[in-house]
């Protein structure tokens, strides 16, 4: 069944706006669809698939669009649509456009230059090659350019994984246990789950397996005082609350009122009563200073480039810049420093990003440890073993999509010295 010719015009119009890279692609698409309510579900799905495919493969599409006739924007739009649904499904093509698309679709992309196949901006591709070597960098790039499966987290306050698998199968939705997170499920296809009773009653939440593991690294216990320092919409907060068995006190700090507002309905579904959302002006807010030295554990999921999430947000690689990352490094350092002040003696601090770049990860942690001799690094391998997570790591958690089928994640676990013990030892000496 052919799509109506108007689809090409709609796709081209929204693509032109997205390629300005003034904001996230998903937000631009959502607004465009709200402004064009006559577009049906199938048409919206095709446009979204074409746009995301184009963002993933922009280097290749840009090269291919240099041939052909008509405007460059129309040509690149047609390539995205043809890859999404096939040339024969597109209505409104001229004979020349049809012939051109058919020729382009026959090109063997395996023979393209490696840098082009990576579909990464040059500065990022060079960083990946330097870090991983060309062969593995290409494997990583191709994995980042492949849409992610749908990961769910089972809320253990309301259900267990085996029962949820059985209930989903009746939908019918086939879910498999994730290999590392004890509460994770993976769905290869992407069904709509918003109307499922399991979602409505808070038994399941959408959350990447890598993100779920951060709650296990923090290792919060019943009755403790804990903070999610950059809570956002609260995915990790909810995982932490369930991990704490709805006891103790869990602060969800964030500087964005909108993000915390998105946490409220999720919190209501979750059944958690130990979570306390707190809007702060900045990392040095007096609301934070009042808690200095009082918390057992703090998670810092720092603002970062987001380059580990390209499977879900392919536009990020084109919007992000080296200058932007340098600016983020300043924020990351300041936030980690402020969060550390919350911890009591012997408290645990987890610094995490969804990035693979050393300047956002190891470099920030090493600088922090040099500036804070009262903190020591706990090897990720040790903590993972304690949590019975079958995952081989060294000092840090480093998750990569081509190896672990998760988003790209980094985490470092640090512990504040037990000052009372140190004082006793010093007195004995």
Number of domains in the chain: 2
At 101-144, the pLDDT tens digits run: 999 999 999 999 999 999 999 999 999 999 999 999 999 999 99
Q: From its phi and psi, is residue 425 left (phi > 0), alpha (psi between -120 and 50) or beta?
A: alpha
Same domain, 215 and 86: no
Same domain, 225 and 96: no
Q: Which of 351, 109, 86 is nearest to 218 (CA)?
A: 351
Same domain, 222 and 334: yes
Q: Are 403 and 390 in contact (CB under 8 A)?
A: no
At 200-247, the pLDDT tens digits run: 999 999 999 999 999 999 999 999 999 999 998 899 999 999 999 999
Residue 121 lies in a domain: no
Domain end point (choices 46, 77, 112): 112
Residue 395 lies in a domain: yes
Q: Is the pLDDT of residue 51 over 90?
A: yes
Average pLDDT, the chain: 94
Residue 377 lies in a domain: yes
Same domain, 265 and 372: yes
Q: Count Cα atoms within 13 angstroms, Cβ side, for 270.
A: 27
Q: 3-state class of 93 per DSSP?
A: coil
Domain end point (choices 91, 112, 133): 112
Residue 184 lies in a domain: no
Beta strands in 124-194 (DSSP E): 150-154, 176-177, 184-187
- CATH number for the domain spanning 220: value is 3.40.50.150
Residue 369 lies in a domain: yes
Q: How confident is the model at residue 1 (pLDDT cuts 50, 70, 90)?
A: confident
Averaged pLDDT, 413-423: 76
Residue 61 lies in a domain: yes
Residue 104 lies in a domain: yes
Residue 86 domain boundaries: 6-112
The neighbouring-strand residues paired with 343 are: 295
Whose structure tokens read 């306050």? 157
How remote is the C-alpha of 136 from its chain's centroid?
21
Residue from 93, 215, 354, 365 carrying the catalytic annotation? 354
Q: Which of 101, 60, 80 is nearest to 15 (CA)?
A: 80
Q: Is 230 annotated in the active site?
A: no
Q: Are 104 and 297 in contact (CB under 8 A)?
A: no
Same domain, 361 and 219: yes
pTM recorded for the entire structure = 0.93
**Both structure tokens of 91:** 């209505």
Share of the chain above pLDDT 70, in %: 97
Residue 419 lies in a domain: yes
Read off φ and ψ for residue 300, nearest 5 degrees.
-115, 95
Read off φ and ψ for residue 301, nearest 5 degrees.
-90, 85
Domain end point (choices 93, 112, 131): 112
């Amino acid at each position: 069944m052919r799509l109506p010719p108007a689809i090409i015009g709609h796709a081209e119009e929204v693509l032109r706006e997205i390629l300005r890279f003034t904001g996230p692609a998903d937000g631009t698409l959502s607004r465009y669809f709200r402004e064009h309510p006559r577009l049906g579900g199938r048409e919206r799905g095709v446009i979204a698939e074409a746009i995301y495919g184009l963002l993933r493969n922009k280097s290749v599409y840009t090269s291919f669009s240099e041939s052909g006739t008509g405007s460059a924007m129309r040509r690149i739009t047609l390539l995205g649509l043809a890859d999404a649904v096939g040339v024969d499904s597109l209505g409104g093509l001229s004979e020349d456009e049809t012939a051109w698309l058919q020729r382009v679709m026959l090109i063997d992309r395996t023979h393209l230059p490696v840098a082009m196949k990576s579909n990464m901006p040059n500065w990022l591709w060079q960083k990946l090659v330097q870090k991983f070597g060309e062969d593995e960098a290409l494997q990583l790039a191709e994995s980042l350019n492949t849409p992610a499966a749908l990961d769910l987290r089972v809320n253990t306050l309301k259900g267990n994984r085996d029962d949820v698998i059985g209930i989903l199968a009746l939908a019918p939705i086939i879910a498999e246990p994730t290999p590392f997170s004890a509460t994770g499920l993976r769905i290869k296809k992407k069904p709509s789950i918003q109307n499922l009773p399991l979602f409505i009653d808070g038994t399941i939440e959408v959350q990447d397996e890598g993100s779920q593991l951060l709650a296990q690294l923090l290792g919060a216990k019943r009755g403790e005082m804990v903070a999610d320092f950059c809570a956002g919409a609260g995915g990790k907060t909810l995982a932490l609350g369930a991990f704490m068995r709805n006891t103790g006190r869990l602060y969800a700090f964030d500087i964005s009122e909108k993000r915390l507002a998105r946490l409220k309905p999720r919190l209501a579904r979750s059944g958690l009563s130990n979570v306390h959302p707190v809007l702060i002006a900045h990392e040095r807010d007096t609301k934070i200073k009042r808690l200095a030295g009082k918390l057992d554990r703090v998670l810092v999921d720092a603002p970062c480039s987001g380059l580990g999430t390209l499977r879900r947000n392919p536009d990020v690689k084109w919007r992000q810049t080296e200058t932007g990352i340098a600016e983020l490094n300043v924020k990351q350092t300041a936030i980690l420093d402020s969060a550390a002040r919350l911890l009591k003696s012997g408290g645990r601090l987890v610094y995490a990003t969804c990035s693979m770049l050393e300047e956002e990860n190891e470099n920030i942690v090493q600088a922090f440890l040099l500036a804070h001799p009262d903190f020591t690094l706990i090897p990720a391998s040790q903590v993972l073993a304690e949590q019975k997570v079958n995952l081989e790591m060294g000092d840090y958690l480093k998750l990569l999509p081509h190896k672990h089928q998760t988003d790209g994640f980094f985490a470092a676990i640090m512990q504040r010295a037990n000052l009372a013990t140190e004082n006793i030892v010093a007195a004995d000496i």
